[in-house]
Structure 1
Amino acid sequence: MPELPEMENYRIHLQQFITGKRIEKININREKSINETPMLFRKQTENHQVTGMKRRAKYLIFHLQNGSSLLLHLMLGGWMFYGSKAEKPDHKTQIEIVFDTDSYLYFFGLRLGYLHLLPADQLEKELSEIGSEPFAGSFSQDFFYKSAER
């Protein structure tokens, strides 16, 4: 299962490649991996630029220019690959995102994982009950000790 360090690694490496790129097409090979109908999902994501990327706990968040976000959780055994179609590992993909630069982001093994499309207010609600972020500036030894006392 990808843990926080792996997800942070994905964020660090992916954000440099996909920030500023336009999503040209999304291929959805497993509809249970998304939270909308494939038609609505594509309508809200295709031809929109990825404006930034964040990580919160074990989630990756892809911010889109239309104000919505893609919330990814790989769950048990999920993984991603970014590269050209020719470089794609020989595994069945759940979701493929094609960028305007002819590069691809593949999601594998999302049997339990998901990629949800959420407006900003719903994203905040979805993440509201997650605990403190260990990489945040406010997370210190004192904060940790005070939190542990409760």
Structure 2
Amino acid sequence: MPELPEVETVRRGLAPVMEGRRILAARQNRPDLRFPFPDRFAERLTGQTVEHLERRAKYLIARLSGGESLLMHLGMSGRFTITADQVDSGDLAAFVHSQGGNPKHDHAVFEMEGGARVTFNDPRRFGFMALFATDAEESVPFLAGLGPEPLGNAFSSAHLDTALSGRKSPIKMALLDQRVVAGLGNIYVCEALWRSGISPRRTAGTIKGARSVRLVRNIRNVLSEAIEAGGTTLRDFAATDGALGYFQHSFAVYGREGEPCHSDPGHGPIQRIVQSGRSTFFCPQCQR
């Protein structure tokens, strides 16, 4: 499932053709994805201007001029593509790309002011869309209780010390708890723990002081580097232009079971264990 860097990559690709532009027409090609489409979905979106396109955790949120917000989740195989029959701006033309994916899986289409068409394609249909009143965001089930953004000012070693205090679960699982920090997923937690020299088995409540400072820094670094690389492509993910992410070529531990540790050729091999049904990759010599 796409994690924070992949969703941020998609946001950056969509922003030039959606932000500040009116949705001339919206349509849905089936009644549901993972969940049913909102009531009167096309009617409520048509004519609205996308004032801002944001990312919150692993969600995209389009702030609309009429006081509602459109929440979008990619699921496991969802992707947005941008096409155009006619484009009225040279700047916009740079962001128009060929369609990807089987058209029979095109489930939602937005005809944007300026000539661009934004299409959501999702073969597995684990993605979804929801509409909610922007001023009632705190009560939206998908967003309520989310922790701070890991790249934002609210995420700090002090926050992590408090959020992890007394927790007896392994640190790997605590970091996947979206109430602790929003948007982290399996891949980037494994990589950040390796960079920090922290075992994924270590009790979460013992992560404080210098360990906490180091972990916060490395979470920020690994996410920033992944965003710059266009995210990670392991199976389905592609950006709005069809490009695949490249961060998988920088993995230190994820998916490298049995291979030497990058920090020291004499270390390793990288081990894989299963924690709460998720694969965890780590170096037992470097991570304590």
User: What band does the TM-score fall into relative to the shorter chain?
Assistant: 0.7 to 0.9
Aligned to 1:24: 24
Aligned to 1:68: 68
Kindly provide the CA deviation profile for residues 95-115 of structure 1, in whole angstroms up to 9, marking residues without a partner as x.
Answer: 111112120111111612111
Aligned to 2:133: 119
Kindly provide the CA deviation profile for residues 74-132 of structure 1, in whole angstroms up to 9, marking residues without a partner as x.
Answer: 11211111232582225230111111212011111161211111112443212112222
Question: Is 1:129 the counterpart of 2:145 in the alignment?
Answer: yes
Cα distance in 1 between the residues matched to 2:71 and 2:144: 14
Cα distance in 2 between the residues matched to 1:76 and 1:89: 16
Aligned to 1:82: 82
Q: Normalising by structure 1, what TM-score?
A: 0.88
SS at match of 1:104: strand
- Rg: which structure is higher? 2
Cα distance in 2 between the residues matched to 1:140 and 1:101: 41
Are the aligned partners of 2:19 and 2:53 in contact in 1 as well (CA < 8 Å)? Answer: yes
Higher relative contact order (CA 8 A, sep 6+): 1
Aligned to 2:177: none
> What amino acid sits opposite 2:19 in the alignment?
T
Cα distance in 2 between the residues matched to 1:103 and 1:77: 22
| % same residue | 29
Question: How many Å apart are 1:149 and its aligned residue?
Answer: 1.5
Query: Which one of 95, 99, 109 corresponds to residue 112 of structure 2?
Result: 99
Aligned to 2:14: 14
Kindly provide the CA deviation profile for residues 117-148 of structure 1, in whole angstroms up to 9, marking residues without a partner as x.
Answer: 11124432121122222122111122222222
Question: Is 1:5 the counterpart of 2:18 in the alignment?
Answer: no
Are the aligned partners of 2:7 and 2:55 in contact in 1 as well (CA < 8 Å)? Answer: yes
SS at match of 1:63: strand
> Please, what is the CA RMSD of the aligned residues?
1.9
Cα distance in 2 between the residues matched to 1:125 and 1:62: 17
> What amino acid sits opposite 2:99 in the alignment?
K
Question: Structure 2 unaligned runs (5+)?
Answer: 86-96, 167-288
Cα distance in 2 between the residues matched to 1:28 and 1:84: 18
> What amino acid sits opposite 1:99 in the alignment?
M
More strand by proportion, 1 or 2? Answer: 1
Are the aligned partners of 1:2 and 1:78 in contact in 2 as well (CA < 8 Å)? Answer: no
> Relative to structure 2, which stretch is displaced further, 77-86 or 54-63?
77-86
> What amino acid sits opposite 1:128 in the alignment?
A
